[in-house]
Amino acid sequence: DSKYYQKLNPSKFAVFGHSCGGLQALEVSPDPRVTTTLVMDSGVVTPGAMSKTPMPGGAKQKPPMGGAMAVGKDILQKLHAPVIYINGGEKDIAYANGMDDFARIDKVPVAMANLDVGHGGTYSQTNGGEFGRVAVAWLQWRLKGDETAGKMFVGPSCGLCKDTDWKFEKKKID
């Protein structure tokens, strides 16, 4: 027997990913089995944005992953479950795309949490640092119904709302 026997609820699960992995998470999020999505340091590339973003040394940009990541903004209208974006603020290369996604999502609860740390997040810190703390609270709330964890996101004086290190926005959560 697995040590996880009767400890996992197969009817509730999350998908999440960092950077290109965030796009992969969004791509599978329309699956009806998905309970919530976490998009970390990511956002769907706005059409035409790749060709406008300067590369170091003037190098030419190529489609990401040889064109394999063909996730379009239309995926955002197919979402059916709550989503949180945890991004690294304006220094994050994915900031503009993530903010555009947040603006476009209007059918499901969505949160945007930005901490001014750039694209690498806080993953190298113990337990994932601040990004890990926020992600775990989101999962505890969305997958386990933990209302204490939910206080980080719910209400006008939610935990992230009051935390001056974070820029937090939300829609359809309260």
Question: Is the domain defined by 13-44+74-171 classed in CATH 3.10.450.630?
Answer: no
Residue-wise pLDDT for 6-38, tens only, equals 888 889 999 999 999 999 999 999 999 999 999
User: In 137-173, which positions are buried (b, 16+ CB within 10 angstroms) versus exposed (e)?
Assistant: bbbbbbbeeeeebbebbbeeebbbeeeeebebbbeeb
CA distance 17 to 20: 7
Mean of all residue pLDDT scores within the chain: 91
- Ranges of each domain in the chain: 13-44+74-171
* Strand partners of residue 13: 34
Q: Which residue has the higher pLDDT, 168 or 2?
A: 168
pTM for this predicted structure: 0.87
Residue 46 confidence class, pLDDT cut points 50, 70, 90: confident
Output the CA torsion 132→106→152→129 (10° steps): 20
Question: How confident is the model over 94-104, as a mean pLDDT?
Answer: 98
Q: What per-residue confidence (pLDDT) applies to 155?
A: 96
